[in-house]
Amino acid sequence: MSIITVLMVLVVPAFTNLKGSGDVTNASETIAGVLAQARTHAMANNTYTWVGFYEEATTSAIATAAVPPYPGKGRLLLATVRSLDGTAVFANSDPSAVLPATQIAQVGRLMKIEGIHITDIGAPPSPSPNPTPLPNSLDGRTDLPYTYGAGINADHFNRISSDSGDKTKFWFVVQGYTFYKTVRFTPRGEASINSTYSLKVAAELGIVPTHGDAAPTPPASGGRYSGNVAAIQFSGVSGNFKVYRQ
């Protein structure tokens, strides 16, 4: 029995592969759960954590390190790392650099979710429709990730999209993948995303289903996706990860 147990451990993959099959709701809940766990880990262990997002084609067979905007679509990879000494590793004013492998450690396994694409899905309508949208609907969510801030806090830095060229100032590498898009949590649970480390009033990840490597055609400028679409929003201070559906 001991030999069988050891062999089972050896064959367990170093990643968790989830078949999305267009199930945007399950994928959204999974991503929100990863973010919430990373935030909890940072607060419980008085350290910094980073959740990285990388998207590739479903046909990709080896780890890649493409710079955003990510060219592949259909397979989202999530990885979480933590600071070993409890610090942010680099000061916010330091030059851009990769987080040294000797100063971070992976938390959990690399996660792969098939059949989804991370993109901007468009702000909710303004003014709000009548009757008032349901609070968990896409039309009922706040538009702050699209409208808040200016300069280094520009609205596109409040969102994570594989189609955007935004990338974090301090990226990391896990199992051969280079994660240039990240959410960082402080020991107080505060969140910041991508290239600036200012707190976010509200951040968003939009999720649409894919068919193989093909994602739905983006709407015209100022428009919104329709159909099987979801969004994850969270506050930079309190977390409160929430999934909104069409």
pLDDT digits (tens, 9 = 90+) for 58-117: 999 999 899 999 999 999 999 999 999 999 999 888 999 999 999 999 999 999 999 999
40 burial via Cβ count (<10 Å: 0-12, 13-18, 19+): middle
Q: How many other C-beta atoms are found inside a 10 Å radius of the C-beta of residue 126?
A: 9
Tell me the C-alpha distance between 63 and 52, whole Å.
14
| pLDDT one-digit tens code per residue, 178-188 | 999 999 999 99
Global pTM? Answer: 0.88
- The end-to-end CA distance of the chain, in Å, is 49
